[in-house]
Amino acid sequence: MTSALIPSTRAMHANADESPLQVFVKAKKKINDIYVEIEEYVDEVTQFINALHLEAEIVNEDERKLFESYILKVAGIREILARDHMKVAFFGRTSNGKSSVINAMLREKILPTGIGHTTNCFCQVEGSDGPDAYLIKEGSNEKLNVTSIEHLANALCQEKLSENSLVHIFCPRKHCTLLRDDVVFVDSPGVDVSANSDNWIDNHCLNADVFVLVLNAESTMTRAEKQFFHTVSQKLSKPNIFILNNRWDVSASEPEFQESVKSQHTERCIEFLSKELKITNENEAAKRVFFVSAREVLQGRVEEAKGNSPSLGAIADGFQMRYFEFQDFERAFEECISKSAVQTKFEKHSSRGKMLASEMREMLDDILKRVSVFLNQKLDQKNILIESIQGTEIEMINATRAMKLQIHDMIEEVEQKVSKTLNEEIRCLSVLIDKFNMPFYPDPLMLNFYKKELNSYVENGLDSNLRARMSMALTMNIEAAQRELTERMHALVPSEKFNEQAKQILTRTQPFEMLYSLNCQNLCADFQEALEFKFSWGISAMLQRFTGKIKKRIRKNRAAMKCPTNSAQLASLTTPTGIQEQMSVVSRLALASAGFKGTVGGLVLAGIMLKMIGWRLLAGFGALYGCVYMYERLSWTKSAKKRAFKSQYLRHATKKLKMIVDLTSANCSHQVKQELASTFTRLCRTVTNATIDMNDELKTLEAQITVLENTQKQVKLLRNKANYIQNELKIFENIYIKSN
């Protein structure tokens, strides 16, 4: 027999991409790529949510923790995906050729086989990226080098391992297509070694995609083998089971019974799969039963790998048919394990990925709704604030104009009231001066002190009277005006922006007091009293009174000249003759003596009187005149001097005070103006500060709106990414799961 007998073997594996196992490889790569995107997406969303949780009250703590939990979930799924592979477990009685089947499929003698050697524990063969083979015992991470099959056999024999323990055997992937395509082979001890099948299944079979029952074609299926797979069927839903009747090459020695025996074995196997285990129908079960010789296939493939032809002496008749049967098994096995692994492993991961994306999308939808609500609230607040600022600016201009007019009217009213009240107090000044009862001494030194005290008394009295008559009313008017100003300004800005500052403005440590500043000390500093005795009927006094009346009459006449009633009256008042006719004899005498002084004037007057009225009448008049003189001279006491002093002071103070009436009223109105203007200025400053605060609040709102708009865009983007991931997973399912 030559190598031409097995050309299909080389053709089948010439292109690895045509192998059904590549479906699993591609699906695994695709699902891993999708989960890389999911992991990046979850990290991005979690960072965004954490930042959003710190900056705003949009995401609560529970939601933030839930998003963070997705990181661990995705990491766990990625870790499982990295370990996911297609797993096939071989079971059967001891020495049925399970290890030989695995070696034949791997095209290399990896597991020890032969007379005297049986697998005494579970051996898992999987691919490694390194160039050397090694094994790892259960419970250890130490890599034990395996240089040859004999070395591995000795290592397994020397180790006293329980039948339930697992030894990992790693072989370079480049040696075998199956290992390169993530197929893992599990060789088991014989099912007749131990009855503890439950532990075997729980520890090594729950994640198996395909089970291969290796039977000895020289005997029938035993109860132990059947019971084991009954247990498997109970723990797993419709497991994928292939039945290999190994050592079928022995039948070549008795070809006349070969078809009969094969038919009996096939019937029993189909009945076991379809009727006893009920995992498939009879047609499908027939496709799961094969008759092979693993030893022949392994020998042929080893020789083929060396470039040699299989040894004719080592190969029985019918080898080619058995080889093709083994290839059919491999093809069916590859299709089954690839489809099963993709469905059992990746369908679950795809569903979890879609569920995770759906949950995150729903949560992002809720967050988006909250962000939209906050954004609309902030936009409404912004519009209200803009209208408030614009309205405040317009009303401020109108209020300022109105306040200026009100302040102007009030200060005019204050000026008139102060002027009127002060004039009334000046007219009543004599009463105030009469009440001054300090002892009076004509001595110049004491007189200066008396004047000083009188000035202080008059100043304090006037100030007290003015306060009593005006201050309370003025204070009430000012407070009322301040309240009105405050109310006007209060209407311009929100209450919370105004009330506290307005209270501080209107709260004074002392009530408003008007300062009249009469300052009588300086005002009457030029007062000079005249306390020397002057006879009221003396020549000088008479002359002064007479000339004073003439001057007064002349002033009246001059005033009348400016506005005469008729021309005749004007002529009579302006002619010298008219004036002289008004004069009496005494007037002539007074005028005659006006040019004389002292005694000489008196003698001249006496001579004139003597000549005119006679000496007796003159003597009587002189006596009477002397008596009057003596009476007045004796009456010129300290009290008379005090009265004269007060009278003189009254005339002087009245004159001086009348001079400052306008100044004082203007000063008082200025104080009121300053008080109201100061209040108005502070209120304006309060409104300005409130406007500045509103502008600052507007800037803050605009910044918050910008953040919320960016947040809204980011949430929408993340939500769309969740949709994208779901679509990717749906496409994955359509290609790799539903199509199978």
On average, the pLDDT of the chain sits at 79
Token pair belonging to 516 = 């009249």
pLDDT number for residue 589: 47
In this model, does residue 450 exceed pLDDT 80? Answer: yes
Spell out the residues 6+ positions from residue 351 whose beta carbon is closer than 8 angstroms to its own: none
* Higher-scoring residue by pLDDT: 291, 517: 291
Q: Locate tokens 């000079």: which residue? A: 528
Q: Is residue 196 part of a domain?
A: yes
Q: In angstroms, rounded to a whole number, what is the distance separating the alpha carbons of residues 49 and 43?
A: 10
Tell me whether strands 289-291 and 241-246 are parallel, antiparallel or unpaired. parallel
Q: What is the CATH number of the domain that holds 287?
A: 3.40.50.300
pLDDT number for residue 372: 92
What confidence tens digit (pLDDT) does each residue in 660-713 have? 888 888 888 888 888 888 888 888 888 888 888 889 999 999 998 998 899 999
Edge-to-edge strands, sheet with 241-246: 144-145, 134-137, 166-172, 122-128, 183-187, 86-91, 210-216, 241-246, 289-291
pLDDT number for residue 724: 93
pLDDT number for residue 702: 93
pLDDT number for residue 15: 43
Tell me whether strands 134-137 and 144-145 are parallel, antiparallel or unpaired. antiparallel
Q: Is residue 239 part of a domain?
A: yes
Q: Is residue 154 part of a domain?
A: yes
* Higher-scoring residue by pLDDT: 35, 632: 35
In this model, does residue 408 exceed pLDDT 70? Answer: yes
Tell me whether strands 241-246 and 183-187 are parallel, antiparallel or unpaired. unpaired
Q: Quick one: DSSP state of residue 249?
A: G
- Among 36-45, 91-100, 201-210, the minimum mean pLDDT is found in 201-210
What confidence tens digit (pLDDT) does each residue in 87-137 have? 999 998 888 888 899 999 988 888 877 655 566 788 889 888 888 888 888
Q: How confident is the model at residue 549 (pLDDT cuts 50, 70, 90)?
A: low
- Among 26-40, 158-172, 262-276, 488-502, the minimum mean pLDDT is found in 488-502
Distances (CA, A) of 663 to 354, 475, 516, 599: 93, 21, 10, 49
In this model, does residue 489 exceed pLDDT 60? Answer: yes
For residue 557, give the 3-state DSSP assignment. helix
Token pair belonging to 46 = 């979690």
pLDDT number for residue 246: 92
Q: How confident is the model at residue 2 (pLDDT cuts 50, 70, 90)?
A: very low
Q: In angstroms, rounded to a whole number, what is the distance separating the alpha carbons of residues 191 and 226?
A: 10
pLDDT number for residue 159: 57
Task: Say what percent of the chain tops pLDDT 70.
Answer: 79
pLDDT number for residue 284: 92
In this model, does residue 266 exceed pLDDT 60? Answer: yes
Q: How confident is the model at residue 153 (pLDDT cuts 50, 70, 90)?
A: low
pLDDT number for residue 290: 94
Q: Is residue 197 part of a domain?
A: yes
Q: Locate tokens 């990046």: which residue? A: 40
Domain count, the chain: 1
Token pair belonging to 309 = 């032809």
* Higher-scoring residue by pLDDT: 243, 513: 243
pLDDT number for residue 586: 46
Q: Which residues of 458-491 are buried (b: 16+ CB within 10 A; e: fewer)?
A: bbebbbebbeebbbeebbebbeebbeebbebbbe
The average pLDDT across 350-367 equals 92
pLDDT number for residue 376: 93
Q: How confident is the model at residue 580 (pLDDT cuts 50, 70, 90)?
A: very low
Q: Is residue 504 part of a domain?
A: no
Domain of 160 in residue numbering reads as 86-316
What confidence tens digit (pLDDT) does each residue in 524-543 have? 888 877 777 776 666 666 66
Token pair belonging to 183 = 């197929």
The average pLDDT across 408-420 equals 87
pLDDT number for residue 33: 93
Amino acid at 136: I
DSSP string, 106-170: HTS--S--STT----SEEEEEEESSSS-EEEETT----EE--SHHHHHHHHHHS---TT-EEEEE
The average pLDDT across 580-588 equals 46
pLDDT number for residue 383: 93
What confidence tens digit (pLDDT) does each residue in 595-640 have? 444 455 566 666 776 677 767 777 777 788 778 778 777 777 778 8
Q: Is residue 328 part of a domain?
A: no
The average pLDDT across 312-329 equals 78
Q: How confident is the model at residue 382 (pLDDT cuts 50, 70, 90)?
A: very high
Q: In angstroms, rounded to a whole number, what is the distance separating the alpha carbons of residues 45 and 513?
A: 69
pLDDT number for residue 112: 78
Spell out the residues 6+ positions from residue 25 whose beta carbon is closer than 8 angstroms to its own: 181, 182
What confidence tens digit (pLDDT) does each residue in 716-730 have? 999 999 999 999 999
pLDDT number for residue 151: 59
DSSP string, 263-286: HHHHHHHHHIIIIIS-SS-HHHHH
